Amino acid sequence: MDTVTISVVRGALEQIANEMDMHVIRAAISPIISEMNDCANGIFNAVTGETIAQGQFGLPVFLANMQFMVQRMNQEVAASGGWNEGDVWMTNSPYFGGTHLPDVTMVAPYFRDGKLLAILATTGHMIDIGGSAPGGFAPNAKDIHQEGIFIPPLKLVDRGVRNEGVMQMVLRNLRLPAEVGGDLRAMNNVFDVARQRLDRVLGKFGEQTVAEVIDEMVVRSERQMRSYIEEIPDGEYHFEDYLDNDGVTDAPIKTALTIRVAGADIEFDFTGTAPPSVGPMNLSRTSTMSMCYVALKHIFPDVPVNGGTFRAVKFNVPEHCVFSAQYPTPVGGYLEVAGKVVDLVFGALAQAIPQRTPAAFFGTTGVFSFGGVHPDSGRYFVSTWVYPGGYGGSHQSDGLVHGVTPQSMARVMSYELTEHRAPVRFERVEMREDSGGAGWHRGGCGSTFELTALAPISMTVLGDRVDYSPFGIVGGKDAMPNEVEFTIDGNKWKPPMRSKVQNLPMKAGDRFRASSPGGGGYRNPLERPVEQVERDLNLGIISEATATTDYGVVIASFTEFEGRRRYLLDAAASNAQRAALGVRQ
């Protein structure tokens, strides 16, 4: 096919998926979708279920999960008599291709002239899904049903007629039925938008041409991904890391990955990983596979996302481990475990292609949710926050400062909106000095923020990376760990599980402070140019102690202005000191 036709049709299909994203974001009621963009949409092959196009505004964690969900839903629907025009199926089962219970997926067929041509899917994070903790993140959960209402695959809309009984059954089990109901309706309506746009594209280019372009898109993505894999030296690369605890048992959880590369094929083998956790630090097998794709996309970002992107990858995920959760294992901490998959991939591939692979990112989504009855309105409120941190340094650059997690990429909630909806006040938000790992290219800094309760609230925190810091690679230093602290009745207090606590009662005046990790450093910090160390020092990214100890520089002088120091380094003395240590500049 000619390149112009391929580019135009592919662009049209991707634009439809983007428009689906924006429709859900703009029509949703809850800020977790309308502000944080915690959703995803896509178009899928009607026969194979493979991804054709996925919106660019949704979350990476749904990259392949939605494909797995569509493939499983196709089987479920076939067993129930097949697709009809106007049908919509819904589920939030993490064992069926989902992630955790707050993420609800809807799947619908696209017919044209009576012929099934594609499957449409949308996923959105519900601001509350019931369960034992507001927001659906329950670090003490030992069972999936303690985390919220479990929705098996069921038909929400039958030939265009919505089953109001099913909808009410779901909504009446939640704390915020009006908000969640509005979000579900926004997601349901996105299918009409997609059908209208697909009709226009097929009407312009014809069914045969569009089908040929889709086939060519998939072939090209597979070819491109395999070409990158071929650049990785053949061999076996192993890496291990740990989760702090599972929220119930205070013991580290071992995670392990062996990557095998042979020509244009790559295998991810998670043998050696700990058994399923008692608490919610578990991940479904499909989410584990999806996160491997996310990690590969970070390393090879220019490969377009479709079914072909995933064909070169093989998996061995043992059934009895934290990366292969099965019913009724809780999965509320899935974002922490999903981030660990990315870390494992980075750690293993850094041994093979360090020029392409970054050091560890900050490694925790650090979700905190709080709820209660608002003293002004008398209505229940729920707010869910994820805090950002630093990305790892790489061969190309320093790590990103104050970034959101690569598995989620959900935007940070507006502080003002949170204060408007809930009785809290943010006291400070600032960059966390020294939190990034030192390196030739340093890790990005994390953040510190603090809020005060203005009325009684119930606070839940589900994070990680306190006991095991984000790692540096090829000689780079580790980053600072996560830190969570409360001030209750004027007394400072840290949870026994460090970054995990459920339904902690806070009164007016009590405070919560979180300091997220930075990213790991890349290469020996003594190789970092002196002028860059001087800039970092003056920007408050690193401290005087880190500059002299980790970076080996000599401070010539400093001046003080408005409580801050302005440093001047002695480049000649610094380079001489480094040379004495055997480091070439």
> pLDDT under 50 in the chain at which residues?
none
Only one residue has tokens 């990376």, namely 465
pLDDT for res 184: 97
Task: Say whether the peptide bond before residue 328 is cis (omega within 30 degrees of 0).
Answer: yes
| pLDDT tens string 492-515 | 999 999 999 999 999 999 999 999
pLDDT tens digits, one per residue of 125-153: 999 999 999 999 999 999 999 999 999 99
Report the C-alpha gap between 485 and 213 in whole angstroms. 54
Q: Give the mean pLDDT of the chain.
A: 96
CA gap 423, 417 in Å, rounded: 11
Q: Give residue 409's pLDDT.
A: 67
Which long-range CB contacts under 8 A does 562-565 form with residues at least 24 apart? 564/540
CA distances from 61 to 247, 278, 337, 341 (A): 22, 23, 12, 11
pLDDT the model gives residue 564 = 87
Alpha-carbon torsion (60, 27, 457, 99), positive or negative? negative
CA 422 to chain centre: 25
Q: Which residue has the tokens 């190309």?
A: 396
Q: Is 88 exposed, middle or buried (0-12, 13-18, 19+ CB in 10 A)?
A: buried
Domain ranges (residues) in the chain: 3-221, 358-523, 527-580
Question: What does the buried/exposed string (b/e) look like for 394-430 if buried means 16 or more CB atoms within 10 Å of the residue's CB?
Answer: bbeebbbbbbbbbbbbbbbbeeeebeebbbbeeeeee
pTM of this structure: 0.96
The phi and psi torsions of 151 (rounded to 5 degrees) equal -105, 105
For residue 504, what are the β-bridge partners? 459
Order of strands across the sheet that contains 367-373: 380-385, 367-373, 457-462, 500-506
SS (H, E, C) 91-142: ECCHHHCCCCCCEEEEEEEEEECCEEEEEEEEEEECCCCCCCCCCCCCCCCC
**Neighbouring-strand partners of residue 381:** 372
| Strand pairing class (491-493; 235-243) | unpaired
